[in-house]
Amino acid sequence: MEIKIEGLEAKIGDTPILRGVDLTMKSGEVHALMGPNGSGKSTLSNVVFGHPSYEVTGGRVLVDGEDILEMEPHERARLGLFLAFQYPVEISGVTVGRFLRRAVEIRFEGEKEVRTKGFLKDLREAMDFMEIDQQFINRYLNEGFSGGEKKRMEILQMLMLQPQFSILDETDSGLDIDALSVVARGVNKLRDQDFGALIITHYQRILDHIKPDYVHIMYQGRIVTSGGGELVTELEKSGYEWVREQYGREEEVHE
Amino acid sequence: MSNEAQTVHIDDYKFGFHYPDGSVFKTRKGLDEEVVKAISSHKQEPDWMLQYRLQALKVFREKQMPNWGGDLSDIDFENIYYYAKPSEGQSRTWDDVPDDIKTTFDRIGIPEAERKYLAGVGAQYDSEMVYHNIQESVAKLGVLFTDPETAVREHPEIVKKYFGTVIPYSDNKFAALNSAAWSGGSFVYIPPGVKVDIPLQAYFRINSENFGQFERTLIIADEGSFVHYVEGCTAPVYTTDSLHSAVVEIIALPGSRVRYTTIQNWSSDVYNLVTKRAMAYENATVEWVDGNIGSKRTMKYPSIWLMGEGAHGEVLSIAFAGKGQEQDTGGKAVHCASNTSSVITSKSISKDGGTSSYRGQIKIEPDLHNVKSHVVCDALLIDEHSISNTYPYMDIQSDDVSMEHEARVSKISEEQLFYLMSRGMDEAEASMTIVNGFLDPLVKQLPMEYAVELNRLIELEMEGSVG
């Protein structure tokens, strides 16, 4: 799968957030998207998935050559895209088991028989792998979960749905080091030629566990520079001040 | 049966089918002494029941319409048939049931349900029981499960002792109306110590245009007994307003437990005005599970009078108000003894401009100790123009009381929809998933086939609400 974002612009209300994002990613690659708070990283993930609060004002998002911006969120998901939420919402009364069974059914619709047959066994294995207690199968989705449990639940869903490309929106925020390594383990498990990921993060520490092939830095609604792992080291040394000084646009520096 | 009826498919009927009116006997429109006498004589009732009906008729005429709750000014009492009898006599087996009636039942799935789950089915088609079957094991325990007409003839000593004692005809206008015109319903008596482990089920349907259905149910659970009574209704769609006004009385004698489950799905022109009340004596437990879907206007507040120490009462109320509908539902608990407890849980859903109102009352008499009451009202609004109201009334005259009331109104949020859609569900399925989740804690309490039916009914109601 190839995702090609071209000149993407979007706003929420009257506030422009994305001001021309260009980014090309493929299955088999892991990208990291870094940048200071408010640079538009989470907005990018929401816009790629079609969140109704954002209005796209320019550009395209092509998945294998097809523009997905007119598609409903569920149609985008059915292409094999996945979004691990920064703030997963609680769905009262819907158990993790029932919800995931349905999501797996939808994801593998053509091959339903095969994929849903060993569903419960697969789910239990994935839960063990993610160090999630099996009792969560019967709990209501995200209701009363701790921050760390919610994040692990996102990665569990990703393991079960086996997307071709996944966006992880600040999955590392608020996680202690143990939870972080479990989350990273989940991502690394899927890592192969048929799986790609965009890891959105403010900090470099998750990238110690998941080595990115490419690193992009976002600032003021644009990707201002891209490179390899050396960019992470640079950020570690100089912080985001360096980004602001080098790439900040005059008219926006003081906002 | 006409060809037209045969071509109706289960998926498009949405409970709108009905068969040619094959009533064998029908009174003229309106209710007066002559009509009441005709009903009574047609049922070959003893004089004491006729006198009871006539007294009730007087009260019905004197009583004012309720001046609270929904607007009932459209009801034209003179334009309603109060009694119709669809077929001759009672049928014991399925083969004896007339074909068009059987077809109607087939569509709701009664015989299949019976094979799988039911102990006895008392299905009411218009006014009379046409199909009544108590599984032998239940009858052997001494359980009486019959229609009230039979009970009046065969068990007058029990009927006389309890009929109208929980809900006298003086209670309200619609209780008086029912007491004058009642027809059909169920009569259940569980002997001391008998625990009926399979739900007793009755299915009700209205199928005569402009015909008001006034069924009457009386359940007596003798000391230390247990019964779960289940009743469900669907009604076909008519252009003029129908009236359903039932009275249900439960007497739970010391140490007994009665659970009463109703799922009602009246068509959108039916006024559903029902009085349900239970008396729970020492250490008795009464539980009402009350699901209201459909109807034009429902006013229904299952009540429990906690008469003896250690009595416990629960009301679980589920309401779904769609376009043009008003569900005014809730529950009542009246604590008349110390060491009693009550729980009222209400879940309502409003969509397409529908109105759901919770109306509940907790009353605690003076000089009582250790009384507990807990009320939870949850409302879910599907869209901007639907309405939810809460009217809790409390009258607490003792000090040693623990009283809690929680009320929440939520709207299906964009974030929830987006989350579920990001996992591949389309918008309709995502909404339905949230609604089902909202009801899940209550649906879990229903017998399995009712849980399935409730989900199916709500799915039908939700259809077309999205996109």
pLDDT digits (tens, 9 = 90+) for A88-99: 999 999 999 999
Give me the percent of chain B exceeding a pLDDT of 90: 53
The ipTM assigned to this model is 0.95
Helices (H) and strands (E) in chain B — how many of each?
Answer: 13, 23
Tokens of B397: 């005259």
B180 has pLDDT over 90: yes
pLDDT at B128: 41
Interface check for B421 against chain A (CB to CB < 8 A): the answer is yes
> What does the pLDDT average to over B146-168?
94
**B54: pLDDT confidence band, cut at 50, 70 and 90?**
very high
Chain A CB contacts of B436 below 8 Å: 93-94
d(CA B323, CA B296): 9
Quick: pLDDT tens for B244-297: 899 999 999 999 999 998 888 777 788 999 999 999 999 999 999 998 888 889
Strand runs (DSSP E) across chain A, as ranges?
A: 2-12, 15-26, 30-34, 55-63, 66-67, 81-84, 91-95, 140-141, 165-169, 196-201, 214-219, 222-227
Give me chain A's average pLDDT, please. 92
Q: What is the dihedral of CA B234, B237, B239, B243, to 10 degrees?
A: 0
Residue A205, CA distances (Å) to A29, A199, A224, B230 in order: 19, 12, 21, 59
Distance from CA of A240 to the nearest CA of B (A): 31
> What does the pLDDT average to over B136-153?
86
Quick: pLDDT tens for A40-58: 999 999 999 999 999 999 9
Closest chain A CA to residue B431: A91
pLDDT at A171: 93
Give me the percent of chain B exceeding a pLDDT of 70: 77
B120 has pLDDT over 60: no
pLDDT at A195: 97
Distance from CA of A19 to the nearest CA of B (A): 24
User: Which residue out of A55, A89, A107, A108 would a mutagenesis test of the B interface target, given it has the greatest number of B Cβ atoms within 10 Å?
Assistant: A89
> What does the pLDDT average to over B367-388?
94
Interface check for B239 against chain A (CB to CB < 8 A): the answer is no
Quick: pLDDT tens for B448-465: 666 776 777 777 777 654
Tokens of A11: 């706003």
Tokens of B312: 């416990």
Residue B266, CA distances (Å) to A40, B47, B315, B318 in order: 52, 34, 21, 14
Please compute, for residue B397, the number of CA atoms within 13 A of its CA located in the half-sphere on the CB side: 10
B114 has pLDDT over 80: no
Measured between CB atoms, which of A72, A85, A88 is closest to B421?
A72
The superfamily (CATH) of domain A2-88+163-253 is P-loop containing nucleotide triphosphate hydrolases (3.40.50.300)
Give yes or no for a contact between A255 and A15, defined as CB atoms under 8 angstroms apart.
Answer: no
B92 has pLDDT over 70: no
pLDDT at A239: 83
Q: What are the domain boundaries of chain A?
A: 2-88+163-253
Pick from A2-11, B299-308, B315-324: least confident: B315-324
Quick: pLDDT tens for A219-244: 999 999 999 988 988 888 888 888 88
Measured between CB atoms, which of B413, B422, B439 is closest to A73?
B422
B323 has pLDDT over 80: yes
Residue B365, CA distances (Å) to B37, B311, B397 in order: 41, 14, 5
pLDDT at A115: 59
> What does the pLDDT average to over B90-94?
49
- pTM score of the predicted model: 0.78
Q: What are the domain boundaries of chain B?
A: 3-300, 414-467
**B86: pLDDT confidence band, cut at 50, 70 and 90?**
low
Distance from CA of A107 to the nearest CA of B (A): 7
> What does the pLDDT average to over A149-171?
96
d(CA B102, CA A32): 67
